[in-house]
């Protein structure tokens, strides 16, 4: 079976199958067309205003969701090129389509709401009785419905006068939609307050028919009970983890929130928290990780800066290490570690070396009966390193009081906006297009709540703060500035 088949190019939302090429544009593939549609869409541009690690409202130097997505796309493309070059399977079947891999990577964060994970938790709690909210599910919804590229509503509103949803989003190929389907699991339509435990990874129940059509198009068969995650989606997922584990750490060094010494001098309590997060996140895919394992990974990460050839030579020759020599060696190691955080050349080399090491740890297992579902994964040693660095940044930095203050402020903003827009005819505050959709779903509360949720989820951090201020401030801005 070929790596890419005619079904992969189905425009499943409208039932079209261009067989891989556009008659009007034979010079580019359908995946390249999907790439172009994504790059030009509004949701992609909005990533520039959404927080990655440090709030963009305070600085424009550090990474945001847009630059993070660009970096994930570059890493993902490198992985695809590496596998296509090294693996005999792709020499037989043809290479991995790098346009498709890049689309998946560039799209993977489209669904993130303002204010990071706290914004996600806030929206999910607000929507817990109406299908929930989750960033990856929202990504699929954006590219398949919300983006204003394709619709069968001749009036151009997307929702017709009978309340029929005729939106097709970017009208992407089946294999492209599959590449952004990170979690093959429907989110429960209703979760009661007493059973609520936070966002559920998956796709919205409203998108379930689309997901089934995508699976059917890509595989050409029903696969009930079989995990569905295409190799392009797996590559994107690995690239995202690599980016989190390296580039977020680099930003933390540059911002002086962390230093290599902070990692190496971490106490047992912090190391245990990191180990617990790794075990929780990997769900048994790795052997149980201990604080000693975490410490070993950190020592390995900074091994080049810790190495001292003169010290090694002295100890190998049986020399006695005097207090003066110990101080000199310590000073050299201190300066070497400090350079990683404070000197741009050393900092970028550090992250570049890590990315190269992690890409080298990518492995592949072919599935000849279903090539699309072939496995791409990190070997266990590399996976452990990636997870430890990613979770260390989360525990030591993202969970710090300084960043949490900003996130909790964001949670309050999101919850207030949702409350204002869903009570006392607050929907009249919506922009014209969202207000029209809300009104055309009259009598269908879950769909109306979803319209409000879609509007808030699409906000940038700055827009959310401004909208909140215009609702709550004693000195609101001019009414002549559009919403």
Taking only the tens place, the pLDDT of each residue in 329-363 is 677 777 777 788 888 898 899 999 999 999 999 99
The CATH architecture to which 6-231+401-472 belongs is: Orthogonal Bundle (1.10)
Total number of residues shown for the chain: 483
Residue 229 has pLDDT above 70, yes or no: yes
Residues 368-389 have a mean pLDDT of 96
Residue 30 to residue 20: CA distance in whole angstroms = 6
DSSP state of 289: P
Share of the chain above pLDDT 90, in %: 65
Confidence at 116, pLDDT banded by 50, 70, 90: confident
Q: How far apart are CA 151 and CA 45, in angstroms?
A: 21
Question: What is the rounded average pLDDT of the residues 318-325?
Answer: 69
Query: Average model confidence (pLDDT) for the chain?
Result: 88
Helices first, then strands: H and E counts in the chain? 22, 2
Which is more confidently placed, 104 or 257?
104
Residue 20: per-residue pLDDT: 45
Average pLDDT (381-397) is: 91
For residue 482, name the pLDDT band (cuts at 50, 70, 90).
low
Q: Are 199 and 126 in contact (CB under 8 A)?
A: no
Smallest CA-to-CA distance from 386 within 267, 254, 256, 289 is with 289
Higher pLDDT, 61 or 285: 285
Of 24-33, 135-144, 374-383, 455-464, the one with minimum mean pLDDT is 24-33
pLDDT digits (tens, 9 = 90+) for 41-89: 999 999 999 877 666 656 667 788 999 999 999 999 999 999 999 999 9
- pLDDT score recorded for residue 218: 95
Q: What is the model's pLDDT at position 82?
A: 98
User: How many Cα atoms are found within 13 Å in the side-chain-facing hemisphere of 155?
Assistant: 11
Domain regions of the chain by residue span: 6-231+401-472, 258-398
What global pTM score does this model have?
A: 0.91
pLDDT category of residue 19 using cuts at 50, 70 and 90? very low
pLDDT in tens, 234-278: 999 999 999 999 988 888 888 777 888 888 888 899 999 999 999
Q: Would you state the pLDDT for residue 23?
A: 55
* 224 backbone dihedrals φ, ψ, rounded to 5°: -55, 125
User: Which residue's structure tokens are 């419905």?
Assistant: 145
Other CB atoms within a 10 A radius of the CB of residue 323 amount to: 7
Cβ atoms of 34 and 170 within 8 Å: the answer is yes
Would you say 434 and 455 are in contact if contact means Cβ atoms under 8 Å apart?
Answer: yes
Q: Are 33 and 176 in contact (CB under 8 A)?
A: no
DSSP assignment string, 356-422: HHHHHTEEEE--SSSGGG-EEEE-HHHHHHHHHHHHHHIIIIITSHHHHHHHHHHHHHHHHHHHHHH
Q: With beta carbons less than 8 A apart as the criterion, state whether 454 and 431 touch.
A: no
Q: Classify the C-alpha dihedral 229-233-239-242 as positive or negative.
A: negative
Lowest mean pLDDT among 70-79, 112-121, 311-320: 311-320
């Amino acid at each position: 079976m070929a790596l890419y088949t005619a079904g992969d190019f189905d425009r499943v939302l409208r039932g079209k199958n261009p067989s891989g090429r556009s008659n009007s544009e034979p010079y580019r593939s359908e995946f390249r067309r999907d790439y172009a549609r994504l790059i030009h869409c509004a949701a992609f541009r909005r990533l520039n205003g959404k927080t990655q690690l440090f709030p963009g409202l305070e600085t424009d130097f550090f990474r945001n969701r847009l630059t993070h997505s660009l970096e994930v796309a570059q890493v993902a493309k490198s992985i695809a090129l590496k596998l296509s070059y090294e693996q005999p399977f792709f020499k037989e079947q043809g290479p991995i389509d790098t346009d498709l891999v890049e689309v998946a990577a560039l799209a993977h964060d489209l669904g993130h709401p303002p204010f990071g994970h706290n914004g996600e938790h806030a929206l999910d709690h607000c929507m817990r009785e109406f299908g929930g909210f989750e960033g990856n599910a929202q990504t699929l919804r954006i590219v398949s419905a919300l983006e204003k590229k394709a619709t069968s509503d001749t009036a151009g509103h997307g929702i017709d006068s009978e309340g029929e949803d005729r939106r097709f989003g970017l009208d992407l190929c089946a294999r492209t939609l599959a590449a952004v389907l990170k979690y093959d699991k429907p989110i429960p339509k209703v979760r009661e307050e007493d059973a609520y435990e936070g966002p559920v990874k998956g796709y919205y129940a409203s998108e379930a028919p689309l997901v089934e059509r995508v699976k059917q198009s890509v595989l050409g068969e029903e696969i009930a009970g079989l995990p569905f995650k295409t190799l392009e989606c797996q590559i994107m997922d690995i690239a995202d983890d690599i980016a989190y584990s390296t580039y977020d750490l680099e930003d933390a060094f540059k911002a002086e929130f962390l230093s290599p010494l902070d990692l190496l001098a971490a106490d047992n309590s912090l190391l245990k928290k990191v180990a617990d997060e790794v075990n929780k996140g990997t769900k048994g895919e790795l052997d149980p990780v201990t604080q000693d394992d975490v410490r070993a990974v950190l020592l390995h990460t900074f091994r080049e800066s810790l190495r001292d050839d003169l010290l090694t030579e002295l100890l190998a020759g049986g020399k006695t290490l005097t207090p003066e020599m110990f101080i000199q060696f310590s000073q050299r190691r201190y300066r070497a570690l400090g350079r990683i955080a404070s000197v741009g050349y050393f900092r970028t080399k550090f992250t570049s070396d890590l990315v190269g090491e992690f890409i080298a740890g990518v492995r592949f297992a072919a599935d000849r009966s279903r090539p699309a579902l072939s496995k791409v994964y990190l070997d266990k040693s590399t996976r452990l390193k990636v997870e430890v660095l990613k979770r260390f940044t989360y525990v030591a930095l993202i969970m710090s009081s300084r960043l949490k203050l900003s996130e909790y402020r964001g949670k309050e903003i999101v919850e207030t906006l949702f409350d204002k827009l869903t009570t006392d005819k607050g929907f009249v505050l919506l922009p014209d297009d969202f207000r029209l959709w809300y009104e055309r779903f009259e009598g269908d509360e879950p769909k109306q709540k979803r319209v409000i949720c879609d509007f808030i989820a699409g906000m940038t951090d700055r827009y959310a703060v401004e909208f909140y201020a215009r609702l709550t401030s004693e000195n609101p801005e001019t009414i002549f500035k559009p919403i």
